[in-house]
Amino acid sequence: MAIKGSAGDVRPGARWGYAVAVWGVLFAVPSFLWAAGSTFGARSTVAPELVRLAQDRVPWFLAVLWVTGFLKLLGAAIGIGLTRLQGRVAGRFLEFCGGGAAVLLVWHGGLFVVHGILVETGAATVAPDLAGLTRWYLYLWGPWFIAGGLAFAAATARYLRLHDDRRPTRLLATAGALGALLLSLASTATGLG
Average pLDDT, the chain: 84
Can you tell me the distance from the alpha carbon of 5 to that of 10, in angstroms, rounded to the nearest whole number? 9
Contact between 155 and 17 (Cβ < 8 Å)? yes
* Residue boundaries of the structural domains of the chain: 15-181
In a 3-state reduction of DSSP, which class is residue 3? Answer: coil
Q: What is the dihedral of CA 165, 166, 171, 176, to 10 degrees?
A: -120
Q: Which range, 18-27, 128-137, 179-188, has the best average confidence (pLDDT)?
A: 18-27
Can you tell me the distance from the alpha carbon of 48 to that of 69, in angstroms, rounded to the nearest whole number? 20
Q: Decide if pLDDT at 73 tops 50.
A: yes
If one compares 129 and 145, the residue with the highest pLDDT of the two is: 145
Can you tell me the distance from the alpha carbon of 86 to that of 82, in angstroms, rounded to the nearest whole number? 8
If one compares 2 and 83, the residue with the highest pLDDT of the two is: 83
The whole model's pTM is what?
0.82
Query: In sequence order, what are the beta bridge partners of 84?
Result: 10
